[in-house]
Amino acid sequence: MSRTARRLAAALVAVVAVAAGTPARADDPTASALPRALRDVGIDRKVGGQLPLDLRLRDEQGRQVRLGEYFGKKPVILVPVYYNCPMLCPLALDGLARSLKVLTFGARDDYELVVFSFDPKDTPADARRKKADALVTYGRHGDSAGWHFLTADADAIATLTRAIGFRYSRDAAAGQFVHASTLVLATPRGKVARYLYTTEPAPKDLRLALVEASSGKLGTVADQVLLYCYHYDAATGRYTLLTMRLVRIGAVITVLALAGFIGYMLRQEKRGRLLAEGSR
């Protein structure tokens, strides 16, 4: 096996590990055992951190934009990719589009999707192409205005990737980047809220993360109940069911139903007595 092939194989192993929900961290004691190309790859969770909203980037039309333009009223899904990625990024964008398609939430009305390339060589034309591909998978008309595919120069990329704790490296021999796959959910004020580590987030996880990032402004009463029953696991970037909370809710519902039944029976008994007395 050639050196390039070995590097690509190692990169693929890292990708699979991240997709399984075990992203590397800078303070991980096992990091030194990884191949050199992977030691600087991973995600440092920065929940609560402020995003650089004054940062200047370019949208898919080549127009200079300010990151803060996409914040203010709705939660934002922030996705780091590079548009000429041969394998992981297309999988991640297709998987995200499929998951978003299932949700009742709509782009622009309920959330903003901001995809940005961490390759300074990517162009607005590359961004337009990837946006068009993702929208074909998404298949819902009218939401394209809420999807933004951005490019930037090296300095802006470094600022934004540092803000979300996204670490990656370039394999010069292969001409590719070695990187993880993640979605970053941000609040309308530009604070990092949640990370989802997967190439295709479960619609349930994506919905709950959006509801949480919106600070309760998005979703229904049922979503709030689900948030009570599910716990966000920061290590895996997924929501897991809390059985005891579900049992408690079931117990409360049972007690309320029983109380309602007893009340109904007492009213029926009282009504029966009144009718009996009236017929005498």
pLDDT tens digits for range 121-142: 999 999 999 999 999 999 887 7
Q: Look-up: residue for tokens 């993640």?
A: 182
Domain assignment of residue 251, yes or no? no
3-state secondary structure of 129: helix
Q: Look-up: residue for tokens 């997924």?
A: 238
Number of domains in the chain: 1
Domain assignment of residue 260, yes or no? no
> In the prediction, which pLDDT does 229 show?
66
Domain assignment of residue 132, yes or no? yes
Q: Which of 170, 165, 76, 80 is nearest to 117 (CA)?
A: 80
Q: How far apart are CA 14 and CA 35, in angstroms?
A: 10
Sign of the C-alpha dihedral computed for residues 258, 261, 266 and 269 taken in this order: negative
Residue 107: pLDDT band by 50, 70, 90 thresholds?
A: confident
> In the prediction, which pLDDT does 173 show?
80
Domain assignment of residue 217, yes or no? no
Q: Is the pTM of this model over 0.75?
A: no
What's the chain's length in residues? Answer: 280
- pLDDT tens track for 12-69: 444 444 443 445 555 555 555 555 556 678 999 999 999 999 999 999 999 999 999 9
**Token pair belonging to 180:** 């993880």
The amino acid at 250: G
User: To the nearest whole number, what is the mean pLDDT of the chain?
Assistant: 80
Residue 99: which CATH number?
3.40.30.10
Q: How far apart are CA 206 and CA 79, in angstroms?
A: 13
- pLDDT tens track for 195-252: 998 888 989 999 989 999 998 777 666 666 665 666 667 777 777 776 444 445 555 5
- pLDDT tens track for 59-103: 999 999 999 999 999 999 999 999 999 889 999 999 999 999 999
> In the prediction, which pLDDT does 13 show?
41
- Whether 55 and 67 have beta carbons less than 8 Å apart is answered as yes
The amino acid at 78: L
Domain assignment of residue 275, yes or no? no
What are the C-alpha distances in Å from 18 to residues 103, 112, 165, 245, 280? 24, 24, 14, 29, 80
**Token pair belonging to 260:** 């309602």
3-state secondary structure of 115: strand
**Residue 14 belongs to what domain range?**
3-201
Q: How far apart are CA 248 and CA 268, in angstroms?
A: 30
Domain assignment of residue 49, yes or no? yes
- pLDDT tens track for 160-190: 999 999 999 988 888 889 998 999 999 999 9
Q: What is the dihedral of CA 51, 152, 122, 163, to 10 degrees?
A: -20
